[in-house]
Amino acid sequence: MMNRRGNLKVLAAAAAVAAGTLTLSQQAMAADTIKVGVLHSLSGTMAISETVLKDTVLMAIDEINAKGGLLGKKLEPVVVDPASNWPLFAEKTKQLITQDKVSVIFGCWTSSARREVVQTLEKHEDGKHACVLFYPVHFEGMEDSSHAVYLGSLPDQQGDRALEFARKELTRGKAKAKVFIVGGDYVYPRASAEVLRMMVEARFANDFEIVGQSFVPLKLPGLIERDVLPAIGKARPDLIINLFAGLDMNDRFVTGMRHHETKASPIPIFNFSLSENDLQNMNDQDVLPGEYMACSYFGSIAASRENVAFKELFRAGSAQPVVSEAMEKAYHGVKMWQEARARLGDKPSPAELRKALLDIRIPSVLNDSEKLSSPRSAPLSLYASHKIHIGRILEGREISMATNPSRAPMFQPDPYPGPTPLVNRTPEESARAREGWTAYLDGLRKAYGGGWENPGVEPVIYEPKPWWRAAP
C-alpha cells in the first residue's frame, strides 16, 4: 500500500466540506485543489488486481503534486471502493460527480463495472459535463461514448496477433487446430469470445476451428473445476484462449490445468486478461510451461532504457515488484489528462477536452507512441492503437518474450470489428458491424436480466446467430 504523503490536511478539509464546517483558511485550501476520482475495487474478487491500479494512480498524482500540481493547484484524490460489485460502481460514480465534484475519474477493471460508470456519466447533467473515465484495461470494445478514454487493447488487436503466432509457432502441421475458449460469465469474455469466433471463421478458417467455450459466474469460481476442466478434457483442444480476469479465477484455472494434464505435453494457453501482477501472486509456485500472454506492454521488456527507468519509478514509490500492462496504462492515463488540462485551464467543455486529448501522444516507454483516435464506427470515443507483444510464461512464473518487441505490428482500434480487416472495410460494412454487435449486446443484456454480468450461480445460456454469416 502506498504512503500518502502530505494529504492529511487536504483530507481534513474535504471532510469539513462534507460536514459544512469549513473555516476561511480551509475554504481557501479547498479552492486550491482539483479533485480527482479514483474508482477501483479495494475489496472483493477483483481487489488484488485493482488495488495496484489505485496505487499507480496515486503515485502519478503524488508526482504531479511534488512538481507544483496542476494549474497552480494540488490534485486531491478521492478514493472510493465499489467492492467488486458492478451496481456499486454506478452509485460511487454518482457520488464522485455530484457530491465530491471530481474533474476526472480513473478506474474500473471489468466491463460490467465500466459500462455502469460510463452510463452514469452520460446521464449526469445530460452528459454536458467534462468529467470522463480513463479506463486502462483491455476490453471487448463495442462502446461509443464521449465520456470515456479507452487506453486498453481490443479483442481483435490481441486476437489477430495471438492467432497468427499460434498458427506459425504452436499448431503448425495440424490441418485445423481445435480451439477452446474459457472466461467469466460477463460481457467482456462473452463478447470477446464472439469476436474471436468471427475472426476464426472469417480470417483463419483454414487453420483453426472453435470446438467449445465455457463461462463461469464470477460469484462461483468453483464451477471451473465442475464445468470448465471436464469440458476441456472432453473436447481435447490444441489451443486454449483464456479470458478469465482477476487473480481468483486465473489461479483456479491455472492450478486446475496443472493437475488436469501432464507437464510433458501441456495444451498451449493464450491468456488475454491475466496480468503480470496476478501471475506473481498465484498460489502455485510453478505455472505450466506452454502458457502465453498477448499484451501491449510487458514489464519484462527491458530492451529500452525508458522501460527500465519506468519500472524504477514503481520500485521507488511502492513495494510492488512487477509493472503490468494495466498499471502502465493507468499511470500514463493520469499524465495524458494532466497535459490536456494544463492546456485548457479550469472547467473545459467536453469538446475542448476531447480536442486536446486527440492532439496528445500516448506516453510510451517502448518507443511506439501513437495518438488517440476516434474510429469511424465509434466517432464519439477516444481509442488507442496498440502493438501487441507475445510473452511466454516460464517455470518460476518468469516471462520470456516470444516475439521481437521492435518488430511488433501496429493494430488500429476497431471497436466494432467485422469479418473484413479494417483497412479493407467499406463504410457500409462498418455500419453493419456496429448494428450486429449492438444487437448482440442487447441480447446478452436481456439474458443477464438487464445487467452486464451473470446475476446467478449457473452459466447463462445465450447462443445468438452470428450476424456476420448472414448476407449483407
Residue-wise pLDDT tens digits, 214-248: 999 987 878 898 899 999 999 999 999 999 988 88
pLDDT tens, residue by residue, 325-363: 999 999 999 999 999 999 998 878 778 888 999 999 988
Tell me the three cell numbers of residue 435.
448494428
Instruction: Flag whether pLDDT at 52 surpasses 60.
Output: yes
Instruction: Flag whether pLDDT at 394 surpasses 50.
Output: yes
How many Cβ atoms sit within 10 Å of the Cβ of residue 164? 16
- Judge contact between 20 and 27, C-beta under 8 A: no
DSSP one-letter string for 246-266: SHHHHHHHHHHHHHHS-TTSP
Average model confidence (pLDDT) for the chain? 86
Question: Please, is 173 exposed, middle or buried when counting C-beta atoms within 10 Å of its C-beta (0-12, 13-18, 19+)?
Answer: exposed
Give the integer Cα–Cα distance in Å for 159 and 165: 10
Pairing state between β 291-295 and 389-393: antiparallel
pLDDT tens, residue by residue, 64-118: 999 999 999 999 999 999 999 988 999 999 999 999 999 999 999 999 999 999 9
Work out the end-to-end distance of the chain between its first and last CA atoms, rounded to an integer number of angstroms: 53
Confidence tier at 10 by pLDDT (50, 70, 90): very low
For the chain, what percent of residues have pLDDT higher than 90?
58
Tell me the three cell numbers of residue 461.
445460456
Q: Which residue has the higher pLDDT, 301 or 199?
A: 199
In the chain, the domains with their CATH numbers are 8-153+304-384 (3.40.50.2300), 155-295+388-469 (3.40.50.2300)
Give the integer Cα–Cα distance in Å for 469 and 51: 42
pLDDT tens, residue by residue, 128-147: 777 899 999 999 999 999 99
Q: Quick one: pLDDT at residue 20?
A: 45
Instruction: Flag whether pLDDT at 269 surpasses 50.
Output: yes
Q: How far is CA 70 from CA 37, 61, 211, 300, 466, in A?
A: 15, 10, 53, 32, 49
Place of cell 446467478: 456
Q: Which residue has the higher pLDDT, 470 or 309?
A: 309
Q: Quick one: pLDDT at residue 397?
A: 77
